[in-house]
């Protein structure tokens, strides 16, 4: 084989290798972009930190959040949702009070529009009513969110959090994906 043919063959091999590397790089970038698009706008995994949602969710549970649902519908009572507490920290809580409702904690129980809330989640007598020691009426786009472990939860009862506006609720918990033995839909 002549030197010219060897050079041509070497160039072809180099160009084919370069095309394959560029093709692989392009595929990886598309996959990376698609993954970010999905987690930014549709589904996002998050890890639970803390005990505020026990006995429903536990420390280190991994959840899958639907970030799309609330663009077309409003949160409903008892939905489990996430909202940002700070730039790097999200809280997982349950929707208790809906827009326009008057809510108060009396004698350790939640009252909505003067009637005791019947629920199967926060079963303990609430020791700290926080801002609900007096009744409050939620605004037209405000939700009252509480942890299921009511006596060990920083939630809407706190002056620092208070009622949460709908546009701050980033998504609805749809399933626990880890630990695998405790997977379930919400």
Residue-level pLDDT at 134: 96
pTM of structure: 0.81
Residue-wise pLDDT for 15-59, tens only, equals: 677 677 777 776 677 666 666 566 666 788 999 999 999 999 999
Same domain assignment for residues 64 and 144: yes
Residue-level pLDDT at 179: 94
- Annotated active-site residue 23? The verdict is no
Which of 98, 82, 99 lies closest to 90 in space, CA to CA?
82
For residue 84, give the 3-state DSSP assignment: strand
Which of 131, 126, 133, 134 lies closest to 144 in space, CA to CA?
131
Same domain assignment for residues 89 and 49: yes
Contact (Cβ atoms closer than 8 angstroms) between residue 168 and residue 83: yes
Residue at token pair 């701050």: 168
Residue span of the structural domain in which 30 resides:
1-41
Residue-level pLDDT at 16: 76
Separation between Cα atoms, residue 183 and residue 4, nearest integer Å: 64
Pick the catalytic residue from 67, 93, 156, 172: 93
Contact (Cβ atoms closer than 8 angstroms) between residue 99 and residue 141: yes
Mean pLDDT by 10 residues, the chain (186 residues): 70 73 70 62 86 95 94 95 90 98 97 95 90 97 97 95 96 94 88
Report the number of distinct structural domains present in the chain.
2
- Annotated active-site residue 86? The verdict is no
Same domain assignment for residues 140 and 64: yes
Residue-level pLDDT at 10: 67
Separation between Cα atoms, residue 158 and residue 8, nearest integer Å: 74
Same domain assignment for residues 36 and 96: no
Pick the catalytic residue from 52, 153, 156, 172: 52
């Amino acid at each position: 084989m002549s030197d010219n043919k060897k050079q041509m063959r070497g160039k072809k091999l180099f160009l084919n290798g370069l095309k394959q590397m560029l093709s692989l790089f392009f595929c990886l970038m598309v996959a990376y972009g698609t993954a970010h698009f999905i987690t930014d706008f549709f589904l996002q995994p998050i890890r639970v930190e803390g005990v505020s949602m026990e006995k429903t969710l536990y420390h280190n549970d991994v959840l899958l959040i639907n970030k799309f649902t609330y663009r077309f519908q409003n949160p409903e009572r008892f939905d489990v949702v996430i909202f940002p507490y700070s730039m790097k920290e999200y809280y997982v809580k349950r929707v208790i009070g809906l827009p326009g409702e008057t809510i108060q904690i009396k004698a350790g129980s939640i009252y909505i529009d003067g009637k005791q809330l019947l629920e199967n989640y926060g079963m303990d007598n609430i020791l700290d009513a926080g801002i609900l020691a007096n009744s409050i009426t939620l605004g037209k786009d405000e939700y009252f969110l509480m942890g299921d472990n009511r006596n060990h939860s920083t939630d809407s009862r706190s002056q620092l959090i208070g009622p949460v506006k709908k546009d701050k609720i980033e998504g609805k918990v749809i399933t626990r994906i880890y630990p695998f033995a405790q997977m379930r839909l919400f």
